[in-house]
A and B are shown apart, each in its own frame.
Chain A
Amino acid sequence: KQEVTQIPAALSVPEGENLVLNCSFTDSAIYNLQWFRQDPGKGLTSLLLIQSSQREQTSGRLNASLDKSSGRSTLYIAASQPGDSATYLCASRSYNTDKLIFGTGTRLQVFP
């Protein structure tokens, strides 16, 4: 059974810092891994999708990496801004179940 864990659960940093959010998954036979952002009371916004054959993806100040052998993905946020404050979720889709399993999320607060 695929389990996805995110560390830390919450993070509060001053504006301008570079951040690393961690995501661990137990089933290494993954199809892809996706990072999302969720603002309070709203749906999820897709940030980055990494296919199993890829090692990383970049979009603006965001960079996500994938290491299947260790069962880990990281989301790197450069030069954080108050507008980055949200909950960040990772989700993996495994070949075994073809279901998208979400992590517990990291609640990020960036203060001015």
Chain B
Amino acid sequence: KAGVTQTPRYLIKTRGQQVTLSCSPISGHRSVSWYQQTPGQGLQFLFEYFSETQRNKGNFPGRFSGRQFSNSRSEMNVSTLELGDSALYLCASRTDPNEKLFFGSGTQLSVL
């Protein structure tokens, strides 16, 4: 069974640009969540989607948005990039709240 797949693995952008990250969950997992990891703030929850609906959201500005498609694949978009958005963005999937979270390898975003 394939794991959680995130693309691309690395991204370099400049301030003001926008970026879209992609996540394909494990087959059969309907929940996809996104996290930002930085050395200073650690791992922080961005949002979670279940069956194409956003069911929970972290404390991030509106520049961060996401969506989930009918095949459970998810995308995360960050608009008007800032230097502080440089981070490892991790996606995770699960079957339901009682089950383990499975993470992808992440997308390392560098904003110059």
Q: Which residues of B contact A51 (CB under 8 A)?
A: 98
Interface residue B103 (Cβ < 8 Å from any Cβ of A): yes
Q: How far is the CA of A101 from the CA of B101 in the complex (A)?
A: 13
> A-B pairs with CB below 8 Å: how many?
53
Given known pairs A42-B106, A89-B43, A105-B42, the reply for A100 and B90 (CB within 8 Å) is no
Given known pairs A32-B98, A51-B98, A99-B58, the reply for A43 and B45 (CB within 8 Å) is no
Q: Which residues of B contact A11 (CB under 8 A)?
A: none
Min CB–CB distance B29 → chain A (angstroms): 13
Min CB–CB distance A10 → chain B (angstroms): 14
- Nearest chain A residue, comparing its CB with the CB of B3: A43
Q: Which residues of B contact A45 (CB under 8 A)?
A: 103
- Nearest chain B residue, comparing its CB with the CB of A105: B42
B103 A102 Cβ-Cβ under 8 A: no
Q: Which residues of A contact B88 (CB under 8 A)?
A: 41
Specify the main secondary structure of chain B where it touches its partner: strand
Q: Which residues of B contact A46 (CB under 8 A)?
A: 100-103
A44 B90 Cβ-Cβ under 8 A: yes
- Nearest chain B residue, comparing its CB with the CB of A102: B43
Question: Which of B33, B92, B105 interacts with A42 by CB under 8 Å?
Answer: B105
Question: Which of B33, B55, B108 interacts with A100 by CB under 8 Å?
Answer: B33
A43 B104 Cβ-Cβ under 8 A: yes
Interface residue B97 (Cβ < 8 Å from any Cβ of A): yes
Q: Which of A35-88 contact B (CB under 8 A)?
A: 36, 41-46, 49, 51
Q: How far is the CA of A99 from the CA of B44 in the complex (A)?
A: 10
B102 A99 Cβ-Cβ under 8 A: no
A104 B103 Cβ-Cβ under 8 A: no
* Interface mask (B8-38 → A, CB under 8 Å = 1, otherwise 0): 0000000000000000000000000101000
Q: Which of B33-59 contact A (CB under 8 A)?
A: 33, 35, 42-45, 48, 55-56, 58
